[in-house]
């Protein structure tokens, strides 16, 4: 085991489960040293307990008391209430990890009022299969050891990149939201495939392997993305026909603007919380 420390997850949703699964699968943390709690969904807590053999509780303050590491894994709208509820139980001895989009580490540090050691992170849902692209950044009072601990924890669910906090909104729009852009494209590919006579199973098998192949190729080559798609395009061939239509409809501009919009939303989430202090 990497750590015998008790890790409490405040929030037992999709991201918390992905991380818990990775930590247990990779024997980074003993399941008995993981506690999960949420706001009200006790059925979900029961499922997690059964699935991973972890501890669950409806007492958030008890869960925080036990913890040496606290993972904040609720939605941004719930963070204020959550931190207020636990602030009396948090001190500088506990490391706080946030996976919450947009929320600056300073907000969490200030609200808990105890110079809390905070490390802000941004994983993505590929954590479920150990393939997240996670970025992490240090808060004001976190130490080099804290950053190393968080890096080791998140390497159980994929790659880890350390960035300064001012880059976290960009990370969120690009990599945190990133899987959704691909799934959105895949949905369109599936629709076109089925409309053109493939069964849904055939479409899924072909598209899945196409996406896996793209990922592997990207990891394996120093070619640029433009070189890679140009490599697929035979003159006057099928790909050129498709890419030409996408260009005429400004497909790449739409994608580019969508990512900037996601980054702006991350900043907006953060600014609302900073202003409300």
Ligand X SMILES: NC(=O)C1=CN([C@@H]2O[C@H](COP(=O)(O)OP(=O)(O)OC[C@H]3O[C@@H](n4cnc5c(N)ncnc54)[C@H](OP(=O)(O)O)[C@@H]3O)[C@@H](O)[C@H]2O)C=CC1
Ligand Y SMILES: O=C(O)[C@@H]1CCC=N1
Residue stretches of the annotated binding site for NADP(+): 10-15, 73-76
Nearer to ligand X, 39 or 147 (CB): 39
Binding-site partner at residue 123 among ligand X, ligand Y, none, CB < 5 to 8 Å by type: ligand X
Taking CB under 6 A as the criterion, the residue among 75, 115, 140, 191 binding ligand X is: 75
- 12, 138, 172, 203: residue in contact with ligand Y (rule CB under 6 A): 172
Cβ proximity to ligand Y: between 29 and 101 the closer is 101
In this structure, what are the phi and psi dihedrals at residue 197, rounded to the nearest 5 degrees?
Answer: 110, -5
CA distance 139 to 137: 7
Indicate which of ligand Y, ligand X, none lies near residue 81 (CB less than 5 to 8 Å, by partner kind).
ligand X
User: Does position 176 bind ligand X by CB under 6 A?
Assistant: yes
- CA distance linking residue 26 with residue 18, whole number of Å: 12
Q: Which member of 46, 81, 145, 231 binds ligand X (CB under 6 A)?
A: 81
Q: Total residues contacting ligand X (rule CB under 6 A)?
A: 29
Task: Return the closest-CA partner of residue 68 out of 30, 35, 97, 94.
Answer: 94
Is the separation of the CB atoms in 6 and 33 below 8 Å?
yes
41 binds, among ligand Y, ligand X, none (CB under 5 to 8 A by kind): ligand X
State how beta strands 132-138 and 158-162 pair. Answer: parallel
Q: Cβ atoms within 10 A of the Cβ of 94, count?
A: 21
What are the residues whose beta carbons fall under 8 Å from the beta carbon of 35, sequence distance 6 or more? 6, 7, 8, 9, 54, 55, 56, 57, 63, 66, 67
Round the CA-based radius of gyration of the chain to a whole number and report it: 21
Q: Exactly one of 20, 67, 73, 96 binds ligand X (CB under 6 A); which one?
A: 73
Q: Give 3's strand partners.
A: 29
Stretch that binds ligand X, among 32-40, 89-97, 152-160, 189-197 (CB under 6 A): 32-40
Question: Please, what is the Cα angle at 255 between 188 and 124, to 5 degrees?
Answer: 80
Quick one: DSSP state of residue 159?
A: E
- Rama region for 18: left / alpha / beta (φ>0; ψ in -120 to 50; rest): alpha
Restricted to residues 96-125, the positions that interact with ligand Y (CB under 6 A) are 101
Near ligand Y by CB under 6 A, which window of 81-89, 107-115, 137-145, 170-178? 170-178
Q: Tell me which residues in 239-268 interact with ligand X (CB under 6 A).
A: none
Query: Which residue, 138 or 270, has its beta carbon nearer to ligand X?
Result: 270
For residues 26 and 9, give the distance between their C-alpha atoms in angstroms, rounded to a whole number: 18
Q: How far is the CB of 174 from ligand X (least distance, A)?
A: 12
Taken in order 20, 21, 26, 30, the sign of the CA dihedral is positive
Select from 22, 123, 173, 178 the one that contacts ligand X (CB under 6 A). Answer: 123
Can residue 82 be called a binding residue for ligand X (CB under 6 A)?
Answer: yes
Residues near ligand X (CB under 6 A) are 10-16, 37-41, 44, 60, 73-76, 78, 81-82, 99-101, 122-125, 176
Residues near ligand Y (CB under 6 A) are 101, 172, 176-177
């Amino acid at each position: 085991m990497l750590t015998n420390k008790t890790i409490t997850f405040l929030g037992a949703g999709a991201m918390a489960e992905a991380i818990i699964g990775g930590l247990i699968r990779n024997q980074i943390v003993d399941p008995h040293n993981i506690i999960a709690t949420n706001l009200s969904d006790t059925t979900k807590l029961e499922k997690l307990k059964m699935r991973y053999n972890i501890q669950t509780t409806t007492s958030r303050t008890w869960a925080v008391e036990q913890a040496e590491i606290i993972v904040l894994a609720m939605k941004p709208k719930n963070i204020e209430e959550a931190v207020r509820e636990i602030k009396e139980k948090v001190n500088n001895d506990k490391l706080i990890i946030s996976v919450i989009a947009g929320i600056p580490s300073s907000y969490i540090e200030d609200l808990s009022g105890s110079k809390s050691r905070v490390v802000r992170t941004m994983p993505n849902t590929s954590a479920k299969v150990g393939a997240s692209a996670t970025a992490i950044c240090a808060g004001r009072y976190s130490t080099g050891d804290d950053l190393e601990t968080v890096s080791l924890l998140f390497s159980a669910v994929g790659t880890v990149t350390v960035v300064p906090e001012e880059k976290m909104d960009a990370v969120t729009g690009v990599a945190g939201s990133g899987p959704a852009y691909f799934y959105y494209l895949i949905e369109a590919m599936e629709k076109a495939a089925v409309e053109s006579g493939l069964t849904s199973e055939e479409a899924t098998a072909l598209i899945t392997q196409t996406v896996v192949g793209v990922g592997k190729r990207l990891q394996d080559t120093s070619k640029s993305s433009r070189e890679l798609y140009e490599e697929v395009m035979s003159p006057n061939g099928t790909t050129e026909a498709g890419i030409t239509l996408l260009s005429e409809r400004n497909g790449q501009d739409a994608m580019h603007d969508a990512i900037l919009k996601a980054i702006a939303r991350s900043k907006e989430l953060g600014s609302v919380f900073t202003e409300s202090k």
